[in-house]
Amino acid sequence: MARADLLLALVKSGAGADDLAFRRAAEALIAEEEAKKHGVLANQLTDALTRRRPQNSASKVTSLTRVEGVAALLHEREPERQISDLVLPGMVRQQCADLLEEHHRRDLLRSHGVEPRHRILFVGPPGGGKTSLAEAIATELAVPLLTVRYEGLIGSFLGETAARMDTLFSAVRVRPCVLFFDEFDAVAKERGDTHETGEIKRVVSSLLLQIDKLPSHVIVIAATNHSELLDRAVWRRMQVRVELPQPTRAGKIEWLKAWSARTGLDFGLSVRTIADRLPHVSYAELEEFALDVQRKTILSGPDASGRSATQQLLEQWNKRAGADTNEP
């Protein structure tokens, strides 16, 4: 049965001829049915909402699985990582806990006329865990992770990108999900930059307007390595701003311990020694190193020495780091 607050909002907005409020309430209702796996009813509601509007309406709403060309705009997958799998600063972990509580208890908030926050900005260096944290939030909320594919979104002709953007946002707004924009500065650059074309500026304006109109069951997470390039309006729209710094020595030790416990991998060296010998790696690189050790140990047979594999790979990684440092 549909939630009472959604039905009440639907009736009130319809009686008051508030078209925007009616559409948002209807979209939230469709999203609820999608989440309950009531696909037939969700499609019927979607069709009814679509027929309610003129066929040339820019805000036409259709189901994600039925939107033509949407596969080129989004990569969808079921998330697996959990918050507990990640090494996070205390403040970041608290920010995530607060956000998740708002969405788990959204009925209470809505009974007071308040929506949970759903626009988040992740800032940090490459490999710092931004993508992993977006996936973990999707896991905790039991919703799919939808990653925007810029190669499908950005067009070469005037107005093409805005049209594709309409398709993308119309598709996602009727289902609970995490909509993830990696390298957000690629599409949300500062409009005051004199080197950017007028088309890019129009794209940024259209993107921000689309994000503003999304209902709260669509959690938008934008990630960037270059926060200084973002348009100033982006900062105003993001309700939660999360900074993910480079891993500390203690953070790397904690990560290696957790990895060893989860996988059963014996590195053969203390995790403190490994952390000290990999001083400048990100969490993504640390995971790559651990996987390298795991592969080498498996391929070396049942009597393989984890210590030998770890030492050999530490030498290779240090040589690679030295080569990277010496590059012009």
Q: Is 311 domain-assigned?
A: yes
pLDDT of 58? 33
pLDDT tens profile 36-69: 777 778 777 777 776 544 333 333 333 353 455 7
The reply to whether 136 and 9 lie within a common domain is no
Mark whether 264 and 307 lie in a shared domain. yes
Do both 237 and 258 map to the same domain? no
Do 236 and 256 lie in one domain? The reply is no
> What is the domain range of residue 117?
72-243
Q: Is the alpha carbon torsion for 274, 280, 283, 288 positive or negative?
A: negative
DSSP 3-state of 169: helix
Which residues, listed in sequence order, are joined to residue 121 by a DSSP beta bridge? 222, 241
Burial category of 205 from C-beta neighbours within 10 Å (exposed 0-12, middle 13-18, buried 19 and up): middle
Domain assignment present for residue 258? The answer is yes
Residue 317, token pair as written in the block: 């990684």
Please give the single-letter amino acid code of residue 76: E
Could you tell me the sign of the dihedral formed by the alpha carbons of 301, 303, 308, 314, in that order?
A: positive
With respect to residue 66, please indicate whether it lies within any of the assigned structural domains: no
Model confidence at 34, pLDDT cuts 50, 70, 90, reads: confident
Query: What confidence score (pLDDT) does residue 195 get?
Result: 59
Whole-number pLDDT of residue 216: 93
Note whether 93 and 136 are within 8 A (CB): no
Q: Of 193, 227, 243, at which residue does a domain stop?
A: 243
Please list the alpha-helical segments (H only) found in the chain: 4-15, 19-35, 39-52, 90-104, 106-111, 130-141, 150-153, 160-172, 198-213, 232-237, 249-263, 271-277, 283-299, 306-326
147 within a domain of the structure (yes/no)? yes
Do residue 237 and residue 253 come from a single domain?
Answer: no
Instruction: Indicate if 206 and 254 belong to the same structural domain.
Output: no
Provide CB contacts within 8 A for 227, sequence distance 6+: 123, 185
Q: Which of 164, 146, 147 is nearest to 155 (CA)?
A: 164
- Please tell me the distance from the alpha carbon of residue 128 to that of residue 67, in angstroms, as a whole number: 34
Kindly report the CATH number assigned to the domain that includes residue 144: 3.40.50.300
Let me know whether 130 and 222 are in one domain: yes
Residues 208 and 265 in one domain: no
Tens of pLDDT, residue by residue over 244-299, are 999 999 999 999 999 999 888 899 999 999 999 999 899 999 999 999 999 998 88
**Could you tell me if 141 and 219 are in contact, meaning their C-beta atoms sit under 8 angstroms apart?**
yes
Q: Which of 243, 268, 292 is the last residue of a domain?
A: 243
Instruction: Give residue 201's identity as a one-letter amino acid code.
Output: K
- Indicate the DSSP class of residue 189: B
Indicate whether 221 belongs to any domain.
yes
Between 70 and 101, residue with greater pLDDT? 101
Asked if 115 and 257 sit in the same domain, the reply is no
Asked if 24 and 102 sit in the same domain, the reply is: no
In this structure, is residue 104 part of a structural domain? Answer: yes
Whether 281 maps to a domain, the answer reads: yes
Dump the DSSP string for 212-234.
HH--TTEEEEEEES-GGGB-HHH
Supply 125's token pair.
Answer: 């260096």
Task: Give the chain's mean pLDDT.
Answer: 83
Show which of 216, 243, 270 is a domain's final residue. Answer: 243
Q: Which of 129, 124, 165, 125 is nearest to 148 (CA)?
A: 165
Instruction: Look up tokens 């069709």; give the residue.
Output: 47
Instruction: Kindly give the interhelix angle for 283-299 and 249-263, rounded to the nearest 10 degrees.
Output: 40
User: Are 142 and 76 in the same domain?
Assistant: yes
* Residue burial 220-246, b: 16+ Cβ < 10 Å; e: rest: bbbbbbebeebbebbeeebebebebee
Lowest-pLDDT range, 64-78, 114-128, 130-144, 206-220?
Answer: 64-78
Q: What is the pLDDT of residues 196-248, one digit of tens each?
A: 555 667 788 888 999 999 999 999 999 999 988 898 888 888 999 999 999 99
Q: Are 239 and 120 in contact (CB under 8 A)?
A: yes
Higher pLDDT, 54 or 108: 108
pLDDT attached to residue 52:
47
pLDDT recorded at residue 54: 37
Asked if 268 and 310 count as a contact pair (C-beta separation under 8 A), the reply is yes
Residues 122, 11 share a domain: no
Calculate mean pLDDT across residues 94-107.
95
292-318 average pLDDT score: 87
Per the structure, how many domains does the chain have?
A: 3
- The alpha carbon dihedral of 312, 318, 324, 328 has a sign of negative
